[in-house]
Amino acid sequence: MSATILPLTQLPAWQALEAHYQKIKNVHLRQFFADDPQRGTRFTIEDVGFYFDYSKNRITEETIRLLLGLADESGLRERIDAMFSGKKINTTENRAVLHVALRAPRDQSIIVDGANVVPRVHEVLDRMATFADRVRSGQWLGHTGKRIRNIINIGIGGSDLGPVMTYEALRHYSQRDMTFRFISNVDGTDFVEATHDLNAEETLFIVASKTFTTLETMTNARTARQWTLQTLGEEQAVARHFVAVSTNGEEVAKFGIDIANMFGFWDWVGGRYSMDSAIGLSTMLAIGPENFRSMLAGFRGMDEHFRTAPFARNLPVLMGLLSVWYSNFFESQTVAILPYDQYLKRFPAYLQQLAMESNGKHVTLDGKRVDYQTGPIFWGEPGTNGQHSFYQLIHQGTRLIPCDFIGFCQTANPLGSHHDILMANLFAQTEALAFGKTADEVRSEATLEKLVAHRVFEGNRPTNTILAEQLTPETLGRLVALYEHSVFTQGAIWQIDSFDQWGVELGKVLAMKILPELNQVEEPELLHDSSTNTLIRHYKSFKLHQT
Ligand code: G6Q
């Protein structure tokens, strides 16, 4: 962040937005639409394969003008340029933030510490493709000569959520005679359930860990090695049944994985921004190198749009600014992500990490406590399931919950009228949330007077609608990059480091202290607080009853 930028709440645009908010905070979307018959086309953008409708937001042209002013005064342009040119914008870790280099074309040059990183990216992609082709075609055999039928990715956080989400999202494009599973939790149940029906002779593990020291992943990887050797006996089997994705060659070799079977990436790829790096090896195995490259092309398309489109027509910039508008002025606490596509069932969970680990920060880049809210809570479920559970609160609860509705005009699985029913529900929800139902409308349906208040929908609930033609690898790439850059935009406005994650450290350190206390037979001297001490004692005494 350039030293010339004022603290956020002192920026003229921020102050103008505060005044503007007072003026429009009570205006109803019904009013906005009545005042402007063109609104439903005016506040829309069609670009990079998306139709983005943001007309059902509590905004006017003036709101957008002021938000764009806020982006300018916050130095968003300079931040974007700094990221794309490989500057070390992750200042607390002194690292460049270059997930955009993972999808750069071969002939592009992005320099970090004096070296062009793009050729290295393509070298790894090419090796991944060769490996994926060998496994998919049955050329790569297991230790006993059997074909590999099962791929299990072992990883956690950024080394898990992207691969799982992408596998689910692109399952339609996956090699159907292979099984793909993902083990992340250190809870042994995850391992047991993922492997109980598999034959080790036909199973390949990908140990995906940037550091190759993560407790959960290494615990699962060691268990996987035992599980494999139980069936296959000899140590040499490890070389045929384990590959690694990591930045830490030394630890990979120590584990016994042949370095020739390691796929690397770099410290300038953050875990939650790594699904299109070698961390996506399971994805490439599932959908094949060609589809993987289409996905990268999708990412690249959105990167170019973010880098070059004027902010007023820039999808991630507008989405990010709208999120700031609700978080900081309407004081909304959460954002609901509502994909109307079953294949996107893990997308809200993926975005949870992307958004909340990135923007859940309470100090600015220069270490000062912020005096405004930062990252909202992301949550959601695929439609229409959510409609039969938590939508009640969105429609009639007391909180304002901005929602992103994501839908596709074509389905990979045309089945009678399923898709029209699905999409009718998407459109209906955004309409109901915006316009609601007045008491007069309820009365006109001959409703008992005592029920009228219960059946009123206030409306004025804001939504974005993101439509694309079809969920393809390319669309998925664009969609993920859309949210990556929207998160970036928000972080730039809030003047925080969206690329570190110090908040995950403390719990890890304390767990390592507690672990030996759980194993000791004699009562250890417990020096925690009285609650933690008692919980540990309680656990230990009941653990003894396990049969
Ligand atoms: C993401 C985080 C975090 C990380 C995991 C796994 O941005 O850094 O979720 O991905 O902690 O780390 P390893 O890949 O090093 O095992």
pLDDT in tens, 221-263: 999 999 999 999 999 999 999 999 999 999 999 999 999 999 9
For residue 381, the model assigns a pLDDT of: 97
Mean pLDDT of the region 18-43: 98
| Helix runs in 390-504, H state only | 391-396, 418-435, 439-443, 449-455, 473-494
Pairing of strands 44-47, 50-53: antiparallel
- Amino acid letter, residue 283: T
Q: Of 69, 70, 39, 73, nearest to 56 (Cα)? A: 39
Q: Whose CA is nearest to atom 16 of ligand 1?
A: 209
Centre of ligand 1 from the C-alpha of residue 100, in Å: 18
Centre of ligand 1 from the C-alpha of residue 460, in Å: 39
pLDDT in tens, 51-87: 999 999 999 999 999 999 999 999 999 999 999 999 9
For residue 3, the model assigns a pLDDT of: 52
Q: Look over the chain and give the mean of its residue pLDDT values, rounded to a whole number.
A: 97
User: What does DSSP assign to residue 244?
Assistant: E
Which residues are known catalytic residues? Answer: 357, 388, 508
Give the nearest ligand 1 atom to 208 CA: 14
Interacting residues of 297 by C-beta distance below 8 A, sequence separation 6+: 103, 474, 477
- Amino acid letter, residue 102: L
| Helix runs in 262-406, H state only | 281-308, 315-324, 347-359, 391-396
Dist CA 244 CA 214 (whole Å): 13
Mutation to probe ligand 1, out of 165, 206, 211, 215 (largest number of atoms < 8 A from CB): 211
Centre of ligand 1 from the C-alpha of residue 511, in Å: 17
Dist CA 404 CA 389 (whole Å): 17
Q: Whose CA is nearest to atom 11 of ligand 1?
A: 157
Q: Is the pLDDT assigned to residue 2 strictly greater than 60?
A: no
Listing DSSP states for 116-144 in one string gives: E-HHHHHHHHHHHHHHHHHHHHT-SB-TT
Considering only CA atoms, give the Rg of the chain.
Answer: 25
Mutation to probe ligand 1, out of 272, 350, 499 (largest number of atoms < 8 A from CB): 272
At residue 523 the predicted structure's pLDDT band, cuts being 50, 70 and 90, is: confident
pLDDT in tens, 408-460: 999 999 999 999 999 999 999 999 999 999 999 999 999 999 999 999 999 99
Which residues are 168's β-sheet partners? none
Centre of ligand 1 from the C-alpha of residue 158, in Å: 5
Q: Whose CA is nearest to atom 5 of ligand 1?
A: 157
Percent of the chain predicted with pLDDT > 90: 97
Q: In what order do the strands lie in the sheet with 50-53?
A: 44-47, 50-53, 463-468, 403-408, 334-339, 377-379
Dist CA 440 CA 449 (whole Å): 11
For residue 545, the model assigns a pLDDT of: 79
Centre of ligand 1 from the C-alpha of residue 271, in Å: 5
Q: Whose CA is nearest to atom 9 of ligand 1?
A: 157
Centre of ligand 1 from the C-alpha of residue 210, in Å: 7
Mean pLDDT of the region 528-540: 96
For residue 51, the model assigns a pLDDT of: 98
For residue 8, the model assigns a pLDDT of: 98
SS3 content of the chain, % helix, strand, coil (to 5): 55, 10, 35
Burial class (CB in 10 A: 0-12, 13-18, 19+), 145: exposed
At residue 520 the predicted structure's pLDDT band, cuts being 50, 70 and 90, is: confident
At residue 324 the predicted structure's pLDDT band, cuts being 50, 70 and 90, is: very high
Mean pLDDT of the region 307-320: 98
Mutation to probe ligand 1, out of 93, 159, 207, 272 (largest number of atoms < 8 A from CB): 159
Dist CA 225 CA 195 (whole Å): 12
For residue 522, the model assigns a pLDDT of: 80
Which residues are 111's β-sheet partners? 116
Percent of the chain predicted with pLDDT > 70: 99
pLDDT in tens, 139-188: 999 999 999 999 999 999 999 999 999 999 999 999 999 999 999 999 99
Give the nearest ligand 1 atom to 246 CA: 14
pLDDT in tens, 85-100: 999 999 999 999 999 9
Give the nearest ligand 1 atom to 357 CA: 7
Q: Is the pLDDT assigned to residue 31 strictly greater than 60?
A: yes
Give the nearest ligand 1 atom to 155 CA: 16
Mean pLDDT of the region 351-367: 98
Centre of ligand 1 from the C-alpha of residue 354, in Å: 11
Give the nearest ligand 1 atom to 272 CA: 7
- Long-range residue pairs from 441-445, CB within 8 A, at least 24 positions apart, any chain: none
Give the nearest ligand 1 atom to 216 CA: 16
Mean pLDDT of the region 278-307: 98
- Long-range residue pairs from 522-525, CB within 8 A, at least 24 positions apart, any chain: none
**Which helix (H) or strand (E) is 163 found in, with range?**
helix 161-169
Dist CA 523 CA 513 (whole Å): 15
Ligand 1 pocket, CB under 6 A: 156-159, 209-211, 214, 217, 270-272, 357, 501
Q: Is the pTM of this model over 0.85?
A: yes
Tokens of 69: 């002013």
